[in-house]
Amino acid sequence: MYKLYNVKRWGSMCAHLLLEDLGVPYQNIWMTPEQVRAPAFREISPLGYIPVLGLRDGRSVIESSAIMAFLTNAHPDKELAPPPGSDDYAIYLSVMAFMAVNIYGAINLAYEATELTDSPARAEAMKVKFTEREAGLFGIIDRRLGKEGPNLLGERFSAADIYLFMLTVWAHPTERALLDRYTNIARVAADVRARPRLKAALESHGVLEPAG
Ligand SMILES: N[C@@H](CCC(=O)N[C@@H](CS)C(=O)NCC(=O)O)C(=O)O
């Protein structure tokens, strides 16, 4: 059985929702931020980051986009991604990596930029910059959805939409402001929230309703 190292509202939310949507068995390990930050957790996740997916053979997978791509490949019958090797699959990976590298990265730095500088004033200035960058990146996704939607992969709902939903929950200045500004993204977020098999997991992260 898979093991999901999970923190409420953190990056494990996408994997948690995907595991529920796929309907595959897994062990859910709720963790506190203190447990994640303890030195012992670095043996599982070298940067001390969540999410981590424990495999059946005891090894661990880190990086949210890798976990999402792995799970959809491992359970192709659930059709939450295009068939591996297809051109559509290339687009799926590309969109997923775009969000994981750029949007997730900008959101993290819009929360806290002290990893990049020892100067509190510079950290504050960077937070402003990354908040602007985050909005611009969400804008690219919103325009894509407007042209090629209703989902990130057109007619097909996929794990990429679940991933996008997670990012919207963390948006600056608030989730509500993002959804009001970007209506195509708002539609995807509403569709994710409307999936009956996700209700319990959404509730467990406190994200059944938009915040802000
Ligand atoms: N590139 C990583 C980023 C993961 C990440 O930033 N996780 C945050 C939570 S959302 C974390 O674990 N932070 C550790 C901390 O705040 O101590 C991924 O995509 O999985």
Convert the pLDDT of each residue in 190-210 to its tens digit.
Answer: 999 999 999 999 999 999 999
Q: Whose CA is nearest to atom 13 of ligand 1?
A: 49
Count CA atoms closer than 13 A to 211's CA, side-chain side.
17
Sequence-distant (6+) residues with CB within 8 A of 199 are 208
Q: Map tokens 């491992």 to a residue.
A: 74
pLDDT of residue 212: 84
Distance, CA 20 to ligand 1 centroid (Å)? 21
Q: Whose CA is nearest to atom 2 of ligand 1?
A: 63
When pLDDT is averaged across residues 119-147 and rounded to a whole number, the result is 95
What whole-number distance in Å separates Cα of residue 51 and Cα of residue 41? 12
pLDDT of residue 89: 98
Query: What share of the chain has pLDDT > 70, as a percent?
Result: 100
| pTM tops 0.95, yes or no | yes
Distance, CA 36 to ligand 1 centroid (Å)? 10
- 116 pLDDT above the threshold of 90: no
pLDDT of residue 47: 96
pLDDT band at 114 (very low <50, low <70, confident <90, very high): confident
The answer for 23, left when phi > 0, alpha when psi is -120 to 50, beta otherwise, is left
pLDDT band at 108 (very low <50, low <70, confident <90, very high): very high
User: pLDDT tens digits, residue range 8-44?
Assistant: 999 999 999 999 999 999 999 999 999 999 999 999 9
Protein residues whose CB sits closer than 6 Å to any atom of ligand 1: 10-11, 36-37, 48-51, 63-64, 100, 104, 108
Cα separation of the two ends of the chain: 37
When pLDDT is averaged across residues 54-79 and rounded to a whole number, the result is 97
pLDDT of residue 95: 98
pLDDT band at 115 (very low <50, low <70, confident <90, very high): confident
